[in-house]
């Protein structure tokens, strides 16, 4: 199990300007919905944007702390 704060911290460590919203979908801490807004996504296809976020959370996936992730990414308005 991983806390929403830990997920946010991991993403912000990789993408310092990111605005991150994390929702625990099941209450178990391993099925999450995450929205990330970052200028680092500029010019990148959606797949590459998601790869950046997944890379930031690689330890959480490797340890099975996160089992499922519903992810949305966006550029700042």
Q: Where are the beta strands (DSSP E) in the chain?
A: 19-24, 31-37, 68-74
Chain mean position to CA 3? 12
Residue bearing the bigger pLDDT, 70 or 1: 70
Residue bearing the bigger pLDDT, 29 or 23: 23
Sheet holding 31-37, edge to edge: 19-24, 31-37, 68-74
Give the range of the structural domain holding residue 31, as residue numbers without chain letter: 4-74
Q: Total structural domains in the chain?
A: 1
Whether residue 51 contacts residue 58, with contact meaning beta carbons closer than 8 Å, is answered with no
The Cα 56–Cα 13 span in angstroms is 8
Per-residue pLDDT band at 28 (split at 50, 70, 90): confident
CATH code assigned at 33 = 3.30.300.90
| Per-residue pLDDT tens digits for 46-70 | 999 999 999 999 999 999 999 999 9
| Per-residue pLDDT tens digits for 8-25 | 999 999 999 999 999 999
- Predicted local distance difference test score (pLDDT) of residue 19: 98
């Amino acid at each position: 199990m991983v806390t929403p704060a830990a997920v946010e911290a991991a993403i912000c460590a990789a993408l310092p300007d990111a605005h991150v919203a994390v929702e625990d979908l099941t209450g178990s801490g391993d099925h999450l919905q995450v929205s990330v807004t970052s200028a680092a996504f500029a010019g990148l296809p959606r797949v590459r944007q998601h790869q950046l976020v997944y890379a930031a959370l690689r330890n959480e996936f490797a340890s099975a702390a996160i089992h499922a992730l519903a992810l949305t990414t966006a550029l700042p308005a």
